[in-house]
Amino acid sequence: MGQVKYTHRIDALPAQVFELGLKAERMPEWFTSIIEVKDITGPLDRIGSGYTAMMKVAGRPLEVRWEVVKIDGPSYTELKGSAPGGGWATYSAKNEPVGTGTEVTLELHYELPGGFLGQFADKLFVERAIERDMKHAAENFKALVEAEVPALV
């Protein structure tokens, strides 16, 4: 099983960070691995709501169905994802207030399909590609949130 964790600060309040993160249709704007989002079943602030992300992971196309499994207002969101062939993932975002901003901790736990070969590919290059994608997505998300929130005084 693979695991990636990334923490960063956004100069916006947790509620503002949370609000933009709920907009599945906007994910391709900041998460460069997501090519398209479709089949959105409801607001992502409700357990059971979800979407399908057409992704490119380590250069390969992948369709992942995500569903909200836990939510605690603007503080915490957890989604479970499943992909054809038996792959799965759990993604969480924790937003903690820090001064006038938010410390965001993202975690992804995943299992690639393919048994031993999937694990081998993960250790060779997939985990590093996911780490790069997560960091890049976090930087893009930060820039987008900070550009869209009113200046904090």
pLDDT in tens, 31-69: 988 999 999 998 899 999 999 999 886 677 888 999 999
Percentage above 70 pLDDT, the chain: 86
Report if residue 10 sits inside a domain: yes
- For residue 25, give the 3-state DSSP assignment: helix
Report if residue 32 sits inside a domain: no
Report if residue 109 sits inside a domain: yes
For the beta sheet containing 101-111, the strands, ordered from the edge strand earlier in sequence to the opposite edge, are 2-10, 101-111, 88-98, 76-82, 60-72, 50-57, 34-38
Provide the CA 71 distance to its chain's centre, in angstroms: 14
Mean pLDDT (the chain) is 85
Number of domains in the chain: 1
CB count within 10 Å of CB 124 equals 10
Report if residue 17 sits inside a domain: yes
Report if residue 89 sits inside a domain: yes
pLDDT tens figures, 82-100: 988 788 889 999 999 999 8
Q: Which residues contact 62 (CB under 8 A, 6 or more apart)?
A: 54, 55, 56, 83, 87
pTM of the complete model: 0.82
Q: What CATH number corresponds to the domain at position 120?
A: 3.30.530.20
Report if residue 41 sits inside a domain: no
Report if residue 116 sits inside a domain: yes
Report if residue 98 sits inside a domain: yes
CA angle 81/35/31 to nearest 5° reads 70
CB 107 within 8 A of CB 92: yes
Domain that holds residue 137: 2-23+68-148
> According to the model, what pLDDT value does residue 116 have?
43
CA–CA distance, 117 with 99 (Å, rounded to integer): 46
pLDDT tens figures, 115-131: 544 454 444 456 677 77
Is pLDDT larger for residue 110 or for residue 140?
140
